[in-house]
């Protein structure tokens, strides 16, 4: 399960940027073609955030659909897997969306001094 390592890296990156601030929410973009399972990330997130400034933070996962452009006719084709076939019969598809794995944003608690 490579999602555990990925989640550890996400927690480390957010922790580094947040410093000592308490993180309330983390938003991720995960492409449907990225081979990363959102439900596994959710499970790992709860485990990986224990004892960190992210513990108890809400995790929002935005799933990005797979899209490709046919190199023969230019049509945009929806993909559920990293391969497919265009209506014109071509399998020459260039993936243009769906391989993302990004930390889109995170929200920290306001601390008044």
- The domain ranges of the chain are 3-65+98-108
Overall pTM surpassing 0.85 (yes/no): no
pLDDT of residue 35: 92
Nearest of 67, 54, 51, 1 to residue 28 by alpha carbon:
54
Over residues 22-38, the pLDDT tens digits come to 999 999 999 999 999 99
pLDDT of residue 2: 87
Nearest of 63, 65, 72, 62 to residue 93 by alpha carbon:
72
In three-state secondary structure terms, 1 is coil
Distance between CA atoms of residues 101 and 85, nearest Å? 24
pLDDT of residue 113: 54
| Fold (CATH) for 3-65+98-108 | hypothetical protein PF0899 fold (3.30.2320)
pLDDT of residue 57: 97
Give the residues across from 107 on adjacent strands.
25
Per-residue tokens: 57: 């933070």
């Amino acid at each position: 399960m490579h999602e555990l390592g990925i989640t550890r890296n996400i927690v480390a990156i957010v922790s580094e940027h947040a410093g000592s601030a308490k993180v309330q929410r983390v938003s991720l973009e995960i492409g449907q073609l990225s081979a990363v399972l959102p439900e596994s990330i959710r499970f790992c997130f709860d485990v990986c955030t224990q004892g960190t400034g992210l513990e108890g933070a809400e995790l929002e996962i935005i799933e990005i659909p797979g899209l490709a452009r046919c190199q023969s006719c230019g049509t945009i084709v929806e993909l559920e897997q990293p391969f497919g076939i265009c209506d014109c019969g071509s399998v020459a598809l260039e993936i243009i969306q769906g391989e993302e794995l990004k930390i889109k944003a995170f929200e920290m608690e306001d601390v008044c001094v």
